[in-house]
Amino acid sequence: MIVNVSEAKTNLSKLINLAFQGEEVIIAKNNLPLVELVVHKPKSKIVFGLLATKDIDPLDNDIMDETEEVNNLFYNHEISPK
């Protein structure tokens, strides 16, 4: 559905509901398509630091078992030479 700006101003609530239900809603000026109303998609959760590039669950306790050095540091043990 293509509507001009003046009609969009008058029927904004209706157009929002149509877009939310999956209808394609395009707002035009002088019959020239300018913008499309789309449903908002929330951004993904923010992941900090080293986990940013990993596909892991940050709540998974087994992540600490991945390296001996991290385990040693975490449990205050001496780091063994490699």
Per-residue model confidence (pLDDT) at position 20: 94
pLDDT at 52 over 90: no
Q: Give the DSSP letter string of 27-42.
A: EEETTEEEEEE----P
Bridge partner residues of 28 (DSSP): 4, 33
Q: Tell me the whole-structure pTM to 2 decimals.
A: 0.52
pLDDT at 17: 96
Domain boundaries, the chain: 2-37
Torsion sign across C-alpha atoms 31, 33, 34, 39: positive
Contacts of 63 (CB under 8 A, 6+ apart): 56, 57
Distance of CA 13 to the CA centre of its chain: 25
Confidence of residue 75 (pLDDT cuts 50, 70, 90): confident
Torsion over CA: 62, 68, 70, 76 (sign): positive
Going by pLDDT thresholds of 50, 70 and 90, the confidence category of residue 35 is very high
